[in-house]
């Protein structure tokens, strides 16, 4: 059963969804959108924790790999779910966000590891990213 779960994944859809999610992040965290809010919060946190100020290429590569894994899992879900509308695709992304991202980030907020500005920017990005990836992968299943 496990082999079948992962056999229907369209890798080209996963790659396109990954690239689009990374593109969304490039725009979302840009200086003219939410970049200054997120940067101010993260720099304060890094100074407090003694971490390096700017991400290295390894951080970007790791982010790409983690985004690819998320898109791959969405692809696996679409192989098991009957999702035939854009609304259903959006619902898959929202449910993944509400079930996996929001609880973790709320814990960070409640335990003081995240401030409300940074929390809002990060969870907003992840919501849109998961919805975007779900729609891209879902639309590819129509092709």
> pLDDT tens, 86-119?
999 999 999 999 999 999 999 999 998 788 988 9
DSSP-derived secondary structure letter, 28 = H
Question: Which residue stretches of 31-98 are H helix?
Answer: 35-49, 57-80, 86-96
CA distance 102 to 64: 20
Using pLDDT thresholds of 50, 70 and 90, give the confidence band for residue 48. Answer: low
pTM of the model: 0.88
Q: Rounded distance, CA 17 to CA 7, Å?
A: 18
- Max CA separation in the chain (angstroms): 50
């Amino acid at each position: 059963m496990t082999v079948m779960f992962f056999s229907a994944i369209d890798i080209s859809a996963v790659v396109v969804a990954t690239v689009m999610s990374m593109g969304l992040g490039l725009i979302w965290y840009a200086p003219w959108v939410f970049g200054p809010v997120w940067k101010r919060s993260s720099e304060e946190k890094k100074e407090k924790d003694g971490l390096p100020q700017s991400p290295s290429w390894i951080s970007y590569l790791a982010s790409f790999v983690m985004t690819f894994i998320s898109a791959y899992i969405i692809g696996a879900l679409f192989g098991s779910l009957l999702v035939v509308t854009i609304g259903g695709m959006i619902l898959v992304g929202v449910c993944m966000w509400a079930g996996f991202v929001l609880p973790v980030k709320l814990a960070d907020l409640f335990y003081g590891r995240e401030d409300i500005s940074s929390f809002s920017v990060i969870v907003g990005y992840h919501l849109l990213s998961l919805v975007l990836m779900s729609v891209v992968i879902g639309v590819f299943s129509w092709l």
